[in-house]
Amino acid sequence: MKNPVSFTALIPLCVLAGCAGGPSSQEAPAAAAQPQQSGLFLQNFDRSVRPQDDFYRFVNGQWLAVTPIPSDRSNYGAFTLLQEGAEHNLRQILDESATANAPKGSETQKVGDFYASFMDEASIEAAGLQPLQSELARIDALATKKEVAEHIGRAQRQFVNHPFAFFVAIDEKNSTQYISTLYQSGLGMPDRDYYLSDDERLKSIRAKYQVYVKDMLALAGTPNAEQAAKRIYDIELSLAKAHWTRVENRDAQKTYNRYDMPALAKLMPSFDWTAFLAGAQVPAAKMQAIVVTQPSYFEALDKVIAQTPVDSWREYFRFRLLNTYAPDLSSAFVNLHFDFNDRTVSGVETIKPRWKRGVETVENAIGELVGKVYVERHFSSDAKERMDALVGNLKAAYSEGIDDLEWMTPETKQKAHAKLARFTTKIGYPDKWRDWSALEVRRGDLVGNDMRAAAVTFDRDLAKLGGPIDKTEWLMTPQTVNAYYYPPANEIVFPAAILQPPFFNVAADDAINYGAIGGVIGHEISHGFDDQGRRYDGDGNLNDWWAPADNEEFTRRAALLGAQYSALSPIPGINVNGDLTMGENIADLAGLQMAYRAYKLSLKGKEAPVIDGFTGDQRFFIGWAQGWARKYREDELRKRLLTDPHSPSEYRTNAVVANVDEFHKAFGVKPGDKMYRAPQERVKIW
C-alpha cells in the first residue's frame, strides 16, 4: 500500500519525523552492538571537544567523524540503527512466510505472498505497465467534470495523492465520535516552497521535476508528454499557491472548520460532491458533518477545477497514478521514480536493495500483520514492566513540575493536573489486532495487492463513522522505531522497536535510561502541553482551559524558545523555522527536564555512583545526547528544514541542554564556554 495521506500520518506528534529500523551494521555506532554496563558509548566520544563547548560532539563526535551515510540513505543515526535491526528481523519473518506454503486466507499466506510478489522481479519486469492498464484506461475515459470528481473519490481508495485527501479521525471537538476530514494535497514535490521559493537549489529541483514528469509520462506511452507535463505542473503550481504553510497547518484551532454537506457545496460549487462520494464508496448518510482543514485552499481548488479542462485533469490523474505505483512496476519506472524522489530531492546515491524495498512495501500495506510475529519474537515482558515503571515515574515528575511552576495560577494548574491524570499509555503492541480477513492477497499481483490493501484500510476507517471510539487502536506498528502522542485520544504510545539501546537498555544504569527513553517518554507527555497540545483538555477536545494570564505567559516563554531556534542555521542562508518546530522543541525541553526530575525521584535521596568517570547527572545528559547522533545529506537536511516539525538532531541536544540549569551544574558550564546560556536567558516552560 502506498503511504496514505491519513490521520495516522498527519495528526500524531512523534519523537522523530522518519521512522524505519537487526543487528547493528558496521556503519552504526559500534557501541550499540555491545552496550557497556554504564550504557555509555565511550568510543563515540570526541575527547578533543569540551562538553562545555559542544556537548553534542563531545558525546558523538568520533562516531560522526568515522561513519559514512550509507549510499542508500538520506540520513543516518542512532534511530537508523534500530530501524535496520527491525528491517533484518522483518526480512526473516517475511522470507519464512513466503516459503511456508500456508493455507489460503491465513495471515502467514497474506504476508508471505505479498512479499513474494514484490520479490518476483522477473514477472514484474515481464509485466511492464500492464498492472496499471485498466486504471489508466479508466482515467483516459473521463469525459466530464462529474467524472473528474468521481475519479478523485475513487483514487482515495488507492491512496493516490490527489488535490485533497479524505480520511476519518476522532472529532477534535467531540472526542466521543469520529468525523470525516478533508486535507490539502496534490503536489508531487515535498512542499509548496519547492514550487514558490527563490532558493537556487529549489529552483534546480523544480526544473528537474518537470523533466521527471515528462519522462514518466513518456515511459508510459503518453502522447505529447512534454506539453502534458507543462499542464500538470501548472495545475500543481496553482495548488501550491493556495496551500497553507506548514506553520499554518500546525494551528489546531484554525484547522478545525466543521461543515455540513450544503455548506461544503457552497464552499466548492464547481465540484460534484455526490459523484465524489460515489467514487469513494462513502454512504451519503455518513456525511452529516466534515472537517475542512484549510477552507481557503478548497475555495481556491474549486476555481482550479472550474478553469481546468477535463483533458488536463486526465493527464494529471495519469501522472499521479504512475508516480504512486512506479515502485511496484518494472525497473524502468522504479529507477525513474528513485532518481527524482530520492536522488534529486534527498541526495540518496543508490537505490535500496530489493529485499529492503520489499519489507518497506509490506510494512506500508499490512505492517500490523507482520508486527504480530515481530512482537512474539522480539519483545519481552521485562521491557514492558520496566517501561510501565518509567512512565509512572515520569507522570509523577510531571505532576510535581506542574506544582512547582511559579508562573501558573492555581486554577490552570488544577486543570493541567486533571489532563495529566487522564493520559492513556500504550506500550509495545496493541491489545487488539486489526482484522485483515477482508484482504485478498494474490501471489504475482503486486499492484493489485497494494490497491486491495489500500481499499481494506480505507473501508475500515470509513466503518468507524457513527460508531464508538476504538480505544485499542494504534497509529503505528510495533516494529516502528518511534513514539507518539495523539491529542484527541490524549494517549502516549511507545512501540516495541524503540525499546532497545541506545534508548532503552535493561542492563544499563538508570541514569542512561532516564536520559534516553525517559526523555522520549517526557517528550511525548509534553506534547500534551506544547503550544498546540495544550489546547486540548483531558478528554481530547479542543477546549480553552487556560486562564488569560497563564496563556499570555506561556506564549511569551514559547516565543523566547522559538527565537533561540530561529537563530540557528545548519545550512548557510537557511535557518531553523522556530514556529514550525515549536511543538517539538517544547516537547524536547520539557520532556528532558521532567525526565531529570523523574531520575532524581528514582534515586530516593541516594547519591548516584560514579561510573566510567561520570556522575549520575552527567550520564543522564549523555544518555539524551547519544540518541540524537545523526548525519544528513544536504538536500535531505534542506527538505527537513522546510517540512519537518523537528529540529535537526544537533540542536535537539545542544539547544535543549543549554536551557537546563542542571546541565550547567553537572558539567561546570561557565560564562565564556560556548554551551553557556545566562540564567535569565534560559527558557523554562514546564
* Predicted local distance difference test score (pLDDT) of residue 26: 31
Distance CA 494, CA 502 (A): 15
The C-alpha angle with vertex 590 and arms to 588 and 595, in degrees rounded to 5, equals: 90
Distance CA 85, CA 237 (A): 40
386: confidence class by pLDDT, cuts 50, 70, 90: confident
Q: Which of 394, 606, 450 is nearest to 113 (CA)?
A: 450
2: confidence class by pLDDT, cuts 50, 70, 90: low
Angle formed by the axes of helices 381-404 and 517-527, nearest 10°: 50
Could you count the other beta carbons within 10 Å of the beta carbon of residue 569?
Answer: 11
Q: What percent of the chain has pLDDT over 70?
A: 95
Which are the contacts of 266, defined by CB distance < 8 A and separation ≥ 6? none
**pLDDT of 306 higher than 70:** yes
* Among 380-389, 460-469, 632-641, the least confident range: 380-389
* Predicted local distance difference test score (pLDDT) of residue 25: 31
C-alpha 545 chain-centroid distance:
28
**pLDDT of 27 higher than 80:** no
Greater model confidence, 432 or 27:
432
Read off the pLDDT of residues 322-381 as tens digits, 9 standing for 90 and up.
Answer: 999 999 999 999 999 999 999 999 999 999 999 999 999 999 999 999 999 999 999 988
Collapsing DSSP to helix, strand or coil, 492 comes out as strand
Q: What residues are paired with 14 via a beta bridge?
A: 484
14: confidence class by pLDDT, cuts 50, 70, 90: confident
Answer for the pair 132, 329: CB distance below 8 angstroms, yes or no: yes
What are the boundaries of each domain within the chain? Answer: 7-85+364-681, 130-328
Report which DSSP code applies to 226.
H
Distance CA 473, CA 139 (A): 35
Collapsing DSSP to helix, strand or coil, 337 comes out as helix
CATH of region 7-85+364-681, choose from 3.40.390.10, 3.40.190.10, 3.40.190.290, 3.40.50.410: 3.40.390.10
Q: Please state, in angstroms and as integers, the Cα–Cα distance from residue 65 to each residue in 44, 58, 60, 156, 630, following that order.
A: 9, 12, 9, 45, 11
* Predicted local distance difference test score (pLDDT) of residue 29: 43
* Predicted local distance difference test score (pLDDT) of residue 128: 97
**pLDDT of 4 higher than 80:** no
Could you count the other beta carbons within 10 Å of the beta carbon of residue 42?
Answer: 15
* Predicted local distance difference test score (pLDDT) of residue 28: 35
**pLDDT of 32 higher than 70:** no
* Predicted local distance difference test score (pLDDT) of residue 17: 67
Answer for the pair 648, 637: CB distance below 8 angstroms, yes or no: yes
Read off the pLDDT of residues 207-261 as tens digits, 9 standing for 90 and up.
Answer: 999 999 999 999 999 999 999 999 999 999 999 999 999 999 999 999 999 999 9
Distance CA 381, CA 377 (A): 12
**Kind of pairing between the strands at 491-495 and 164-170:** unpaired
Q: Please state, in angstroms and as integers, the Cα–Cα distance from residue 654 to each residue in 78, 546, 615, 625, 680, following that order.
A: 17, 31, 19, 8, 18
Q: Please state, in angstroms and as integers, the Cα–Cα distance from residue 218 to each residue in 137, 215, 336, 337, 541, following that order.
A: 16, 5, 11, 13, 49
* Among 11-20, 461-470, 603-612, 625-634, the least confident range: 11-20
* Predicted local distance difference test score (pLDDT) of residue 153: 98
HSE at residue 169, side-chain half, CA atoms within 13 A, is: 29
Read off the pLDDT of residues 154-191 as tens digits, 9 standing for 90 and up.
Answer: 999 999 989 999 999 999 999 999 999 999 999 999 99
- Provide the terminal-to-terminal Cα distance of the chain, rounded to the nearest Å: 40
| Per-chain mean pLDDT for the chain | 94
Distance CA 256, CA 542 (A): 9
* Predicted local distance difference test score (pLDDT) of residue 506: 80
Average pLDDT over residues 82-111: 96
The domain covering 130-328 belongs, at the CATH homologous superfamily level, to Neutral endopeptidase , domain2 (1.10.1380.10)
Average pLDDT over residues 628-640: 98
